[in-house]
Amino acid sequence: SSELTQDPAVSVALGQTVRITCQGDSLRSYSATWYQQKPGQAPVFVIYGKNHRPSGIPDRFSGSSSGNTASLTITGAQAEDEADYYCHSRDSSGYRLVFGGGTKLTVL
Amino acid sequence: QVQLQESGPGLVKPSQTLSLTCTVSGGSISSGSYYWSWIRQPAGKGLEWIGRIYPSGSTNYNPSLQSRVTISVDTSKNQLSLKLSSVTAADTAVYFCARGLVGSTWRGDAFDIWGQGTMVTVSS
């Protein structure tokens, strides 16, 4: 079992806002990084350090954190945002890394 | 631009050792700013971190795999390697190598560059 918990699936209407969450005790101490993975492709990081976007990631992607929960928000979801999203951080020891179970985002 | 490319046998027999290589191009694997990880993903399932190696040679492994995993670096070839012993069907997955960084102004990690992944099937 993962030390980071995500909802298995979330859906959003085209153009609307969706929040994907990740819960874990280690998130009280460490920031989550978020990855987008489309079928047959390697993951791509979209948010790191709570709310930093790598170059090339649209500004509709944002991150936030409160207590033991990190969130990825997509404001104005597009059809191309349909993908699996994974959070990633350290485990409770701080020395090892863990991924959340992933959230499948469907854009309706 | 740094690129990663995994390679190795696509089929491994049960109880044998899985060996993969990740070739780094466009940059040095010895760069002190980064570490290198292996991550795997069984078909239709989530990502599982296997372990990492720092430029110093120190390693951290997933506790669930630690007894079977060895990650090493060949700086002369700019390659990262993974060895996973005593494999079973449960080790069948796509294996990714990735470059990791530790936040400088934030507490955490990120994998900023990934290889395309290589499928490994464990079967007799």
DSSP string, chain B: --EEEEE--SEE-TTS-EEEEEEEESS-TT-TT-EEEEEEE-TTS--EEEEEE-TTS-EEE-TTTTTTEEEEEETTTTEEEEEE-S--GGG-EEEEEEEEEE-SSSSSEEEEEE---EEEEE--
Query: What would the pLDDT profile of A55-100 be if each residue is shown by its tens digit?
Result: 999 999 999 999 999 999 999 999 999 999 999 999 888 889 999 9
Query: What would the pLDDT profile of B65-77 be if each residue is shown by its tens digit?
Result: 999 999 999 999 9
| Chain B neighbors of A35, CB-CB under 8 A | 47, 111
Which A positions 30-69 lie with beta carbon below 8 A of chain B?
A: 30-33, 35, 37, 41-45, 48-50, 52, 54
Tell me the CA distances in angstroms from A65 to A19, A70, B7, one per residue in order.
12, 4, 37
Q: Do B111 and A33 touch (CB under 8 A)?
A: yes
Q: Do B48 and A54 touch (CB under 8 A)?
A: no
Q: Do B52 and A29 touch (CB under 8 A)?
A: no
How far from each other are the two terminal CA atoms of chain A, in whole angstroms?
30
